[in-house]
Amino acid sequence: ALRSQANLELSKPLATLLARHRGNLKLDRVEELPPTIAAALSLHRGSLSLGAIKQLSPEAAVALSRHVGPVQLDALEALSAEALAQKLLHDGRTNFDRIRDISADAAAVLAAHPQAISIASLVTQADSLPSLTVSQANLFSRHSGELKLNSLRTLTDLVAEALARHDGAIQLGSLKSFDVSTARALVKHSGELHLSGIEKIPFDVAEVIANHSGSVRLDRLTVLESGALTEKLLRDGRTNFDQISQLSQSAAVRMAAYPGPLTLNGLTDVHDLVQMELLRHTSTFELSGLAAAAIPSERIASARADLLAKHSGPLPLVNLTELSSVPLTHKLLADHWTEFGSIRSVSPNVEEVLGHHATPLRLDGLSQIRSGILATKLLHDGRVNFDAVTMLSDQAAAVLAASPEPISIALLVQQAETSLAISDPMAGVLSRHRGPLHLNQLKELSETAAIAFASHSGPLEFDRLSRITPSIASAFMTHVGSLDFNGLSSIDALTETILAKYPGPLRLDGLASLITEALAAKLIFEGRTNFSRLKSIGPDAAAVLARTNGTLFLDGVESLNTEAAAALANHQGDLSLSGLKNISEPIAAALAEHRGDLSLSGLETLPDGIANALSMHPGTLSLNRIQFLSDSAATSLSTLRGGLSLRRLETVSDAAAAALAQHDDELDLNGIVSLSETASRLLSQHPQVRLPNQFR
For 359-372, write each residue's pLDDT tens digit. Answer: 999 999 999 999 99
Angle at 598 between CA 593 and CA 603, to 5 degrees: 105
Judged against a pLDDT cut of 90, whether residue 529 lies above it is answered with no
Q: What is the pLDDT of residue 5?
A: 57
Q: What are phi and psi of 266, to 5 degrees?
A: -85, -15
For 350-360, write each residue's pLDDT tens digit. Answer: 999 999 999 99
Is-contact 63 38, C-beta < 8 A? yes
Judged against a pLDDT cut of 80, whether residue 7 lies above it is answered with no
Which residues, in sequence order, are bridge partners of residue 537?
A: 514
For 409-443, write each residue's pLDDT tens digit. Answer: 999 999 999 999 999 999 999 999 988 999 999 99
For 315-340, write each residue's pLDDT tens digit. Answer: 999 999 999 999 999 999 999 999 99
Return the closest-CA partner of residue 208 out of 177, 234, 229, 235.
Answer: 229
Compute how many other C-beta atoms are within 10 angstroms of the C-beta atom of residue 478: 10
Kindly write down the DSSP assignment for every residue of 462-518, as one continuous string.
-TT-----HHHHHHGGG-BS-EE-TT-----HHHHHHHTT-SS-EE-TT--EE--HH
Return the closest-CA partner of residue 615 out of 606, 626, 604.
Answer: 606
Judged against a pLDDT cut of 60, whether residue 1 lies above it is answered with no
Q: 225: Cβ–Cβ under 8 A, 6 or more apart, which residues?
A: 203, 206, 246, 248, 250, 251
Reported as a pLDDT band with limits 50, 70 and 90, residue 8 is: low
Strand, coil or helix: 682: helix
Kindly write down the DSSP assignment for every residue of 42-91, as one continuous string.
TT--S-EE-TT-----HHHHHHHHT-SS-EE-TT--EE--HHHHHHHHHT
Is-contact 97 119, C-beta < 8 A? yes
Find the DSSP H helices in 82-235: 82-90, 104-111, 120-126, 134-141, 157-163, 180-186, 203-209, 227-235
Between CA 565 and CA 555 the distance in angstroms is 14
For 446-468, write each residue's pLDDT tens digit. Answer: 999 999 999 999 999 999 999 99
Reported as a pLDDT band with limits 50, 70 and 90, residue 3 is: low
For 117-133, write each residue's pLDDT tens digit. Answer: 999 999 999 999 999 99
Q: 112: Cβ–Cβ under 8 A, 6 or more apart, which residues?
A: none
For 552-601, write each residue's pLDDT tens digit. Answer: 999 999 999 999 999 999 999 999 999 999 999 999 999 999 999 999 99
Judged against a pLDDT cut of 80, whether residue 146 lies above it is answered with yes
Between CA 65 and CA 83 the distance in angstroms is 6
Between CA 296 and CA 277 the distance in angstroms is 25
Reported as a pLDDT band with limits 50, 70 and 90, residue 10 is: confident
Is-contact 27 49, C-beta < 8 A? yes
pLDDT (average), residues 291-312: 96
Which residues, in sequence order, are bridge partners of residue 262?
A: 285
pLDDT (average), residues 380-399: 94
Judged against a pLDDT cut of 80, whether residue 99 lies above it is answered with yes
What secondary structure letter does DSSP report for 654?
H
Strand, coil or helix: 98: coil
Judged against a pLDDT cut of 90, whether residue 251 lies above it is answered with yes
pLDDT (average), residues 265-287: 97
Domain boundaries, the chain: 1-115
Between CA 406 and CA 294 the distance in angstroms is 38
Average pLDDT, the chain: 95
Element (H, E) at 274: helix 272-278
Judged against a pLDDT cut of 80, whether residue 9 lies above it is answered with no
Q: What is the pLDDT of residue 190?
A: 93
Q: What is the pLDDT of residue 378?
A: 95
3-state helix, strand, coil in the chain (%, to 5): 35, 10, 50
Judged against a pLDDT cut of 60, whether residue 40 lies above it is answered with yes
Q: Percent of the chain, pLDDT > 70?
A: 99
Q: What is the dihedral of CA 580, 586, 588, 589, to 10 degrees?
A: -160
Q: What is the dihedral of CA 329, 332, 334, 339, to 10 degrees?
A: -110
Return the closest-CA partner of residue 517 out of 481, 483, 547.
Answer: 547
Is-contact 163 137, C-beta < 8 A? yes
